[in-house]
Every structure is written in structure tokens, then in C-alpha cells.
Amino acid sequence: MIFNRYEWRLLLRVFLMFLALVAAAFVIVSGKPLYLVIFIPLIVYAVIEMIRFQKKAQDEVNQFVESIHYRDFSRHFDVRRAPNELKPLRKGFNDINTTFKLISRERETQYHYLQKILELVDTGILSFEEETGNISWINEAFKNLIGIPYLKSLHSLEKRDPALYHELTIVKPGDSKIITITRNQQLVKMLITASVMRSDNVLYKLVAFQNVSEALDETESKAWSKLLNVMTHEIMNSVAPISSLADTLKNRLQSPEITGAIQSSELEDLELGIDTIKRRSEGLLKFTESYRSLNKITKLDLNKILVRDLFENLASLMRPTLEKKHIELEIILRDPTLAIQADINLIEQVMINLLVNAIEAVKDREEPRLILSGELQNNSKTLVKVTDNGLGMPPELLDKIFIPFFSTRKTGSGIGLSLCKQIMLLHKGNIQVQSTEGKGSSFILQFIP
């Protein structure tokens, strides 16, 4: 075992103190106490040196502990100017600080890296203390999805959105469920998934939010398409023979042998009944045929379309109807070069359907008004809006108006908005509605580049 310089000096001090004590004891035992005058100062000096050495070491340790307590790993202990006995101690402290700084830097880098990842993903993340409800972290995606710029406590969400607050409090770790929230007067479907983690004896609940409206819309559209295929096929196969049979029976009733054998009043009743069957059968066939148009659109003729040209064509087409009903049409387009990739014929059909519905919505207003507008969002999505100042719709209808067969008008077929939605899904876009009862509605076409 090889001792360093510091250890040799420490052994020397201990050895000198030992010799002084042995000499003092020998003098006392020999009965020569006068000689203690020589050895006592040596003993006192050795004790003071040991105490001073220990105090220096203790001061160094206290300074190091203080820097650790305040996480000040940048502190440097000067080894060159230190007493020889303290140089190893200071060197050890510097090594420990260097290791701590490296670990801290790695953790900070990992934290920032993880934070950047969570900020870039489209999934909203909310973390809060399960016991107190205090928010520990939320990302930008959550703020954008929910429409809340700042949230300090989960309990403050109860006033803004009681339904969402209730769902967040009852969702269990490991569970996933789809909820519907209202954002900007739109119904948005969210998939929420919860998990828990414990840190410093505090239990945190993490909830992930994912907007699944578009995915569900596409799945729902495909499901309706399959249903309509089966339904129209079965209805037409069943009703077409009934209509044909009714036509045959009516011709037979007009033959001489039948007219001579049946009284005139009974013949009229039979003809009326057969006519009713034939008329209703043809009406049902025509009604079913109209729904087949939902499944006929399979291919798009995409071209670059200036939104300005689209609006001008629509204004020219709808001008006679608007003037006749004294409806004002306003076009708002800040960027005249705004363009979309679309099938002009299909998109014009969508816009015409929306304008016809908007005209119907404002017919009872004193100052009916429609607005066509377009804008480019920060995410490069193009929005085209048809807005009216009509009566609006209650919240419970907003999730139903795009369902085939559903209509709020007695004379409506329920095909218009369903067709609009399918056309937008074919364009890899979407259609949404914002509506406030008593103030009006806005239908938004969203085009993805």
C-alpha cells in the first residue's frame, strides 16, 4: 500500500502526538513532573494542529454540501492554492461536481428533447395531480384541440366545460373512450386515453387527446355507402316488380271481358287502388334512385381552381334567386390568389347545395344575408365558408345533419349534405358546421394541400 503526501503528513502528526504522550507518561511515572513543561506545549500544539486540520476539512465539506443543496454544480474548488492536506479533498469535490454537471446536462437535454417532441405531435397531453387537480403540464396541441390557452387547475375547467371536466375525472388509467366536445360551435370527437405515474410521492394522471372526427367521418361514410348499396339494391328489386304488376293489372282492367263483368263503381275503386300502388311504387323507386347518386362518385378530375373564380361563378348563378328573395350576398376574400385542388363540377355542386340550404335558412329574416369567404390557415389548409344569418340549429342537430335520410325540412330528402360530405371526403378534405341558435350557421369546407 502506497501512501500519498497528505496521508504521510497525517501519519507524521499522529506519530508525533503519540511520542509526546508517551514521553509525558514516562516523565510522570518516573517521578520527574518538571519535565512536563517541555512535553505539554508539544502535546497542545499537536492537538491544536489536529483540530485545525479537521476544521479545515469540515469547512470544505460544508461548502461542498451547500453547493449540492442549491444545485450549484458550477462551483470550482481551487486545488493549486489549497493546503497540501486539502488538495485530494478538493480534487474529489471537483470530480463529483463534474459528474453531477454531466448528469444534469444529459437530463436537461433529454427533458428539452422530450418537450419538443410532445409539442410537435398532434396528440394533446394533459398532466395533473390526481389529489389536488393542479395542472403540471399541458402541450400546445391540447390548447389548440380544446381551445383553452391556459389552465392552472383541473377544477377551473369545470366552469368552462362541465362535461369535459366530468369525463377527465371519471376516466380510469388504461381506459380509452371517445367523447364529443363543442369547439368554436363545432362538435368534435376526441379519443381520450388515461394513465398514471408517481413522482416524489405525488400521483399524476396523464390524459392524451386525439382528434378522431375525420377518421370517424370517413369510417361512417363508408358504412353508410355499404348500407345504401344493399338497401337500394333490395328496395329496387322488390318494388320494381310491384310497379310492373300494377301496370299489368291496370291494362287488364281495361279489357272488355273485365269491364263487362264488374260494375262501374267497383271498377273505379280497383283502378284507383292500382293507380295508388303504381304511383307510390314509382315514387319509392325514384326516391331510391336518388340515393344511388351517393355511391356513383368514385373518380375526381382534379385541377387548380381559384377561389375567386369559384365565388364569381356562384354569384352569377345564384343572382336571380337572391335578387328575387331580396337576399344580400357578400364575398370576403383577402387573398385573390387563393386556390384549391378540386373537381370543379363536384365542388360547385357542393357550394350550390350549401347556398340553397342557406337561402332556405334566411327566408324568414328581415335582413337576410349570406357570406362567401375563403382563407388560408397556418397549417396550410384552405377553408371555404358559406355563412348565413338564419335561425341556426340547436346543438343536438349538429351531429345528425350529415346522416343520409335525415332532414330538418318536411320536403327535404336528406341527401344534399350527405352528398356534400362524401364529395369532400373524396377530396381528402372535410366539411364542418358552426351554428348558434338564433344567430345563424356557417358551413366550412376544409381542403388539405
Task: Report the C-alpha gap between 151 and 142 in whole angstroms.
Answer: 11
294 has pLDDT over 70: no
List C-alpha distances in Å: 149 to 17, 114, 193: 73, 21, 21
Pairwise pLDDT comparison (411 vs 199), residue with the higher score: 199
**46-100 pLDDT tens trace:** 777 777 777 777 777 777 777 777 777 677 777 777 776 667 777 777 788 788 8
335 has pLDDT over 80: yes
List C-alpha distances in Å: 440 to 101, 130, 407, 408: 61, 41, 17, 15
Give the percent of the chain with pLDDT over 90: 10
**15-51 pLDDT tens trace:** 777 777 787 787 777 777 776 777 677 777 777 777 7
The pLDDT of residue 2: 42
Categorize the per-residue pLDDT at 370 as very low, low, confident or very high, splitting at 50, 70 and 90: very high
**95-108 pLDDT tens trace:** 887 888 787 777 77
The pLDDT of residue 225: 61
435 has pLDDT over 80: yes
> In the predicted model, what is the mean pLDDT of the chain?
76
The pLDDT of residue 339: 92
The pLDDT of residue 187: 66
Pairwise pLDDT comparison (444 vs 204), residue with the higher score: 444
The pLDDT of residue 387: 93
Q: What is the DSSP letter of 313?
A: H
331 has pLDDT over 50: yes
The pLDDT of residue 123: 75
Show the cell assigned to 282. 314509382
Average pLDDT over residues 173-178: 77
Average pLDDT over residues 324-333: 91
- Residue 355 sits at the vertex; the CA angle it makes with 352 and 361, to the nearest 5 degrees, is 145
- Residue 407 sits at the vertex; the CA angle it makes with 404 and 413, to the nearest 5 degrees, is 70
Categorize the per-residue pLDDT at 149 as very low, low, confident or very high, splitting at 50, 70 and 90: confident
Pairwise pLDDT comparison (147 vs 362), residue with the higher score: 362
Give the percent of the chain with pLDDT over 70: 71
The pLDDT of residue 3: 46
| Other Cβ atoms closer than 10 A to 249 | 16
